[in-house]
Amino acid sequence: MNLSMKWINDYVDLKNINIKQFCHEMTMSGSKVEGYETEGSEISNVVIGKLLSVVPHENSDHLVVCQVEVGKDAPIQIVTGAPNVKAGDVVPVALDGSTLPGGVKIKKGKLRGVESNGMLCSLGELGLTVHDFPYAIEDGIFIIEEDCSIGEDIHEALGLNDTSVEFEITSNRPDCLSVTGLAREASATFDLPLNIPVPSFKGVDGDINEILKVDIKNTESCKRYCAGIVKNVKIEPSPRWMRERLRASGIRPINNFVDITNYVMLEYGQPMHAFDLRYVKDSHINVRNAVNGEKITTLDGIERELSDEMLVIADSEKPVAVAGVMGGEYSGIMDDTTTVVFESAYFEPVQVRRTSKKLGLRSDASARYEKGVDTLISMTCLNRAFELVEMLGAGEVVKTVIDKDFTDKNLKTVEFSADWINNFLGTDIPESDMIKYLNSLGFSVENGKVISPSFRIDIEYKADIAEEVARIYGYNNIPSTPFKGVAEAEYTPEQKFTRTIENTMTALGCYEISTFSFISPKYFDKINLSADSKLRKTETIINPLGEDTSVMRTTIIPSMLEILSKNYNNRNSEVKLFELGKEYLPTDPDKLPEEPLRLAVGMYGGNIDFYDIKGIADALLKTVRIYDCDYVRTSDSDAFDEASAFHPGRSAVILKNGKAIGILGEIHPDVAENYGIEVKVYAAKLNVPEMLELSEKEITYKPMPKFPATTRDLSLICDDNLPAASIEKAIKKAAGKVLEKVTLFDVYKGKQIEEGKKSISYSISMRSHDGTLTDEQADSIMNKVLKALKDIGADLRM
Amino acid sequence: MKQQLENIENAAMAEASSSDSIKSLDELRIKYLGKKGELTAILKQMGKLSAEERPIIGQLANKVRQDIEEAITGKMSALKAKEKERKMSAESIDITLPGKKQSIGKLHALKIVENEIKEIFLGMGFSVADGPEVEYDYYNFEALNLPPDHPARDTQDTFYITDNILLRTQTSSVQVHVMENQKPPIRIISPGCVYRSDAVDATHSPLFHQIEGLVVDKGITMSDLKGTLETLMKKLYGNDCKIRLRPHHFPFTEPSAEVDVMCFNCHGEGCRICKGEGYIELLGAGMVHPKVLEGCGIDSSVYSGFAFGMGLERIVMRRFNISDMRLLFENDLRFLEQF
């Protein structure tokens, strides 16, 4: 909403308040100012001049030399190329050293050897259009027909001295989408009197019912319809003051009738509609629902198909307007219009909103209707329109009008209690002050009740009244109390667990990333996910911004790979990342998905291999007290469909007590290629809820050993494909409870080792809690171990 | 014999003081004090002395032994100290060479500030609540006093999964879950992702983060809201930080306010960063709307409450002077390393 400061001063005298203060105080009382602009602020040193003579330029065919009277001792000489000037014309003159819109500076100089001491201006050079001065032309000097004096400053002469203030009006306050509404707010804010005159018109004799018939077929959607007739109209530009105010309000002047409807809408917030009676067939207006498939070409020249939930203003045959949204092109005011119908109506907000949304058509009218206009103001506004018609001499208003009224005249009331309000706000505002604030906003207070004015559609609860009081009292005058009361608060076990993971991952050298949780369905192909994978079943956004962000991810792996790929492209050579993010796993249709938390890890560069990412997983699992996990080949587990993204021989699923808690390994070279990464990439995904469940909650101290450990080293020869885990398992089983630790310290293939075999060496630590192990005891255990190893094909290396 | 002892002492002292190595001192000790040393040799002759002379010479001999020992020990420790000094000096290294690389990562800028805010609120007795991101229309809109066809729905361009399921546009949806499941007193914050259909640019992202706060109890007032937010801002931005409340409209609070924080750059004077305002808009807040309380089964004539919501990205960008929101989601290592 753009407000003309000249206009608002008609209703509340703000002349003693400077514009900055006005904007600030209005913002602080709830009408937020986005900015303001003083018209013609870029124009300086431009005055009214009169051309005394116009003679051809001696060195040019298209230039002329003018002597211009500008209210100084002597006329000045200006050279111009414009063809439309002659002696006697009154024109805008930019003097030497003047400025014009767009940062243009005018300086005296010579044009083809002839001195020129300024410039004659066109409309465009002053930032104006023919809509502002309809008698002028676009291309040529602006020949001024205004009542002005020679030498007068252009701002005063053309009325370029208004200030336009841009307000951001919240959706609950459609009443402030009007000059009178903002005047009321200003009056309350600055504690100044408000004076909004009641409009009235004289009219000419005549019975409206003989000229026009109105039927309301849907009184739920159209609660009031006021209409009147103006005869013998004279379509012409409206007067300058009206054009100026419209311009300052951001509305283009068209002609007197259209301008009047806009003027009243801006003034009162009530959309008005004017149309040509000629095109209302049978002079019969029907406010009814549209028929499915019915068509109308709206004022913007677009043909629109209507449906039966939309409300139209129709004649006896066809729609002439979409109610509350836009008039029809066909019935609009034209230069040869002779009889005009004015409509001022109340349409239900939801009705207009749905229609406007469905048609994809918004207008100044629909913006107001859909939020809710004053239910009782229709007739006042019709009167105001007719008052203006008479003021402008635009036609003869028929004295009698039509008023179909189905509105509820009861005003809303809310309980008023100053104590309650003070207790709610934490203030100590006297009741009399509260009543004063409320009165200034149009509320009345009687018998413990606040009666809400009809334009305040947002008032319903005591809290609403408290807000009215608070904003005029000033939010910043409300004291701040230190928050009282004690409450116990701590992180939940889940939150603590997550914090531990975060801290561990950074300690392990990984940087945290934050990614979008919606991805492209193409990402599933990028990780080679099988066509029938359950992960392809996603929560899909109906109205995405684009395919890239159209499905909620069911796996966090692609998000990590995308970021690794970006880093690779940005030439970051060594990267270790992690993310704690959700996956969104669909459940039943029409039910919400599960949103389990996942840890993703990803890394490349710097001589890393499978055992680095496994080392990270091991360290994390140890930190969160998940011990003794098993690693199985991804081909031996169907827990993770993302296995497709991994190198089959260099990836593993992590099992704890048989339950899969994660997957990790080298990314499949094909997948890495899909992401444009030309080095080995490693990734892991761990399921946080499962980890939390399996993490040991109780920590029990075990006494430190009293007796020394006995250590024996073993070097074994076995088939290359015998997993180390099997060897360790055999050692553990055979050694029994004295076994303290098995540590792998070497794996060797190559010289001196037969093809297809490997040498694998362990250090075995044994310890008894009952005494120092003797050599004999240790040897006997080692013999058992060696026998067990032989059984699985691992022999002592000689 | 006395003369002999004195000669030995003088000779030993002279040798000790001129000795320049630990080895020669050790030899000296053996030469004079060892079992076959000169002093011992003299003492072996003690038996030849008279009973009168014996104690005198014995005393003298002991003194000589003591003196020699002290001289050798003294010289020895001086030499050892010198030796140590020499060794230390030889071991000196270039302490300006870079440290050996240790692998250490960092949290994301968003998480750093989120954790900080969570800690502040934990200290004020707020628990941290979580809620679904894929949400029913009811929790995101209807229960928050945004029925279908409410014009304020327009301002939050929503991603829909079905007609009834959407990606939450605000963490305020968690308010409803908490109030449905917990009786007052309630004191929670809820950080998380929210989604709005805004194309990516320097200041917009279709996914961003909010932190919601909710307090419901008997006798909660708007001045409590102001006090809480003031505490938060002072802890976040320092004790001289000032806030200002402007009336605004949110369907789920009444009264509603937008909260501005004094511009950190110009301290309220007005500058380029705050566009001359002196204050920067930081969060929305208000008293929980009675309709919202009632909808969650909380008697609004007994309880009142306040709620607030802030955009994490905005706070993070201001904190670290980041001018483009996209950087937060690009996750380039050179960016991540800086926090």
Q: For testing the chain A interface, which of B103, B214, B339 should be mutated: the one with the most A CBs within 10 Å? A: B103
Q: Tokens representing A513?
A: 């990333």
CA proximity to A146, closest of A91, A214, A204: A91
**pLDDT for position B156:** 65
Q: Report the alpha-carbon distance of residue A407 to residue B36 in Å, rounded.
A: 133
Of B106, B151, B289, the CB nearest to A511: B106
The contacts of residue A15 (CB under 8 Å, 6+ apart) are A9
Question: Could you tell me if A64 and A79 are in contact, meaning their C-beta atoms sit under 8 angstroms apart?
Answer: yes
Asked whether the predicted pLDDT for residue A65 surpasses 90, the reply is yes
Q: What is the DSSP letter of A206?
A: -
List Cα–Cα distances, B211 to A593, B9, B208, in angstroms: 22, 88, 10
A222 dihedral zone (left: phi>0; alpha: psi -120 to 50; beta) = beta
Q: Do B254 and A471 touch (CB under 8 A)?
A: no
| Residue pLDDT, tens place only, A572-587 | 999 999 999 999 999 9
Asked whether the predicted pLDDT for residue A431 surpasses 80, the reply is yes
Contacts of B289 in chain A (CB under 8 A): 461, 463
Would an 8 Å CB–CB cutoff place B331 in contact with chain A?
Answer: yes
Q: State the average pLDDT for chain A.
A: 93
Q: State the average pLDDT for chain B.
A: 90
The contacts of residue A449 (CB under 8 Å, 6+ apart) are A413, A414, A415, A416
| Residue pLDDT, tens place only, A725-774 | 999 999 999 998 889 999 999 999 888 888 889 999 999 999 988 888 88
Amino acid making up residue A694: L
A309-313 contacts at long range (C-beta below 8 A, 24 or more positions apart): A309/A354, A309/A355, A309/A358, A310/A354, A310/A355, A310/A358, A310/A359, A311/A218, A311/A221, A311/A222, A311/A287, A311/A347, A311/A351, A311/A352, A311/A355, A312/A287, A312/A288, A313/A273, A313/A285, A313/A286, A313/A287, A313/A343
Instruction: Please give, one letter per residue, the 3-state secondary structure of A329-354.
Output: CCCCCCCCCCCEEEEEEEECHHHHHH
Contacts of B285 in chain A (CB under 8 A): none
| Residue pLDDT, tens place only, A282-295 | 999 999 999 999 99
Q: Tokens representing A507?
A: 């300690």
Of A424, A491, A595, the CB nearest to B132: A595
Q: Do A567 and B105 touch (CB under 8 A)?
A: no
Would an 8 Å CB–CB cutoff place A701 in contact with chain B?
Answer: no
The contacts of residue A390 (CB under 8 Å, 6+ apart) are A201, A202, A397
CB atoms within 10 A of CB A410: 8
Q: Report the alpha-carbon distance of residue A243 to residue A132 in Å, rounded.
A: 6
Q: What is the DSSP letter of A564?
A: H
Of B231, B249, B289, the CB nearest to A463: B289
Q: What is the DSSP letter of A704?
A: P
Q: Report the alpha-carbon distance of residue B22 to residue B108 in Å, rounded.
A: 61
CA distance A726 to chain B (A): 32
Nearest CA in chain B to A516: B207
Q: Tokens representing A230?
A: 């103006």
**pLDDT for position B16:** 84
Would an 8 Å CB–CB cutoff place A500 in contact with chain B?
Answer: no
Nearest CA in chain B to A538: B161
**pLDDT for position A160:** 87
Q: Do B134 and A463 touch (CB under 8 A)?
A: no
Would an 8 Å CB–CB cutoff place A488 in contact with chain B?
Answer: yes
Q: Tokens representing A304?
A: 């629109």
Q: Report the alpha-carbon distance of residue A709 to residue A638 in Å, rounded.
A: 42
* Cis peptide bond N-terminal to A479, omega within 30: no
Would an 8 Å CB–CB cutoff place B31 in contact with chain A?
Answer: no
Min mean pLDDT across A333-337, A379-383, A620-624, B257-261 is at A333-337
**pLDDT for position A485:** 66
DSSP-derived 3-state class of residue A77: strand
Question: Could you tell me if A224 and A216 are in contact, meaning their C-beta atoms sit under 8 angstroms apart?
Answer: no
Q: For testing the chain B interface, which of A28, A29, A170, A422 should be mutated: the one with the most B CBs within 10 Å? A: A170
Q: Report the alpha-carbon distance of residue B187 to residue B16 in Å, rounded.
A: 83
Contacts of A509 in chain B (CB under 8 A): 102-105
pTM of the predicted model as reported, rounded to 2 decimal places: 0.85
Nearest CA in chain B to A573: B333
Mean pLDDT of all residues in A238-242: 92
| Residue pLDDT, tens place only, A521-559 | 999 999 999 999 999 999 999 999 999 999 999 999 999
Q: Report the alpha-carbon distance of residue A114 to residue A124 in Å, rounded.
A: 25
Question: Could you tell me if A579 and A560 are in contact, meaning their C-beta atoms sit under 8 angstroms apart?
Answer: yes
Q: For testing the chain A interface, which of B223, B243, B256, B281 should be mutated: the one with the most A CBs within 10 Å? A: B223
Nearest CA in chain B to A487: B125
ipTM surpassing 0.95: no
Mean pLDDT of all residues in B76-104: 90
Residue A159: band (very low, low, confident or very high) from pLDDT cuts 50, 70, 90: confident
Would an 8 Å CB–CB cutoff place B106 in contact with chain A?
Answer: yes
Q: Report the alpha-carbon distance of residue A517 to residue A598 in Å, rounded.
A: 12
CA proximity to A225, closest of A314, A164, A350: A314
Of B108, B222, B328, the CB nearest to A424: B222
Of B125, B160, B249, the CB nearest to A541: B160
**pLDDT for position A532:** 94
Residue owning tokens 């940062």? A103
CA distance B278 to chain A (A): 12
DSSP-derived 3-state class of residue A482: coil
B window 303-322, beta carbon within 8 A of A: 304
Q: Which residues partner with B281 through β-bridges?
A: B260
Q: Report the alpha-carbon distance of residue B337 to residue A473 in Å, rounded.
A: 49
CA distance B34 to chain A (A): 43
Q: Do A480 and B227 touch (CB under 8 A)?
A: yes
Q: Report the alpha-carbon distance of residue A481 to residue B224 in Å, rounded.
A: 5
Mean pLDDT of all residues in B273-279: 81
CA distance A354 to chain B (A): 7
Contacts of A499 in chain B (CB under 8 A): 115
Asked whether the predicted pLDDT for residue B56 surpasses 90, the reply is no
Burial class (CB in 10 A: 0-12, 13-18, 19+), A62: exposed
Q: Report the alpha-carbon distance of residue A372 to residue A324 in Å, rounded.
A: 11
A300-309 contacts at long range (C-beta below 8 A, 24 or more positions apart): A300/A326, A300/A329, A300/A361, A301/A329, A304/A359, A304/A361, A307/A358, A309/A354, A309/A355, A309/A358
Contacts of B133 in chain A (CB under 8 A): 517, 582, 584, 595
Q: Report the alpha-carbon distance of residue A789 to residue A488 in Å, rounded.
A: 57
Quickly list DSSP for B31-96: HHHSTTSHHHHHHGGGGGS-TTHHHHHHHHHHHHHHHHHHHHHHHHHHHHHHHHHHHHHHH---TT
CA proximity to A364, closest of A266, A455, A444: A266
The angle that helices A418-425 and A462-473 make with each other, rounded to 10 degrees, is 70
CA distance A583 to chain B (A): 11
CA proximity to A442, closest of A396, A376, A522: A376
Contacts of B115 in chain A (CB under 8 A): 499
> What is the separation of C-alpha B71 from the centre of its chain, rounded to a whole number of angstroms?
57
Q: Do A463 and B207 touch (CB under 8 A)?
A: no
Q: Report the alpha-carbon distance of residue A341 to residue A257 in Å, rounded.
A: 10
Question: Could you tell me if B32 and B70 are in contact, meaning their C-beta atoms sit under 8 angstroms apart?
Answer: no
Amino acid making up residue A488: E
A window 351-370, beta carbon within 8 A of B: 353-354, 370
CB atoms within 10 A of CB A44: 17
B window 228-287, beta carbon within 8 A of A: 228, 230-231, 244-249, 251, 254-257, 287
Asked whether the CA dihedral B114, B116, B120, B123 is positive or negative, the reply is positive
Q: Tokens representing A107?
A: 């300086």
**pLDDT for position B155:** 65
Q: Tokens representing B210?
A: 């909010």
The contacts of residue A507 (CB under 8 Å, 6+ apart) are B104, B105
Q: Do B332 and A572 touch (CB under 8 A)?
A: yes
Q: Report the alpha-carbon distance of residue B116 to residue A755 in Å, rounded.
A: 58
Asked whether the predicted pLDDT for residue A629 surpasses 80, the reply is yes
Mean pLDDT of all residues in A234-242: 92
**pLDDT for position A484:** 66
Question: Could you tell me if A579 and A610 are in contact, meaning their C-beta atoms sit under 8 angstroms apart?
Answer: no
Q: Tokens representing A769?
A: 């809690």
CA distance B96 to chain A (A): 24
Mean pLDDT of all residues in B316-323: 89
Q: What is the DSSP letter of A485?
A: S
CA proximity to A666, closest of A678, A679, A683, A686: A683
| Residue pLDDT, tens place only, A433-451 | 999 999 999 999 999 999 9
Question: Could you tell me if B337 and B105 are in contact, meaning their C-beta atoms sit under 8 angstroms apart?
Answer: no
Helices (DSSP H) in A212-348: which residue ranges? 240-248, 256-268
Q: Do B104 and A483 touch (CB under 8 A)?
A: no
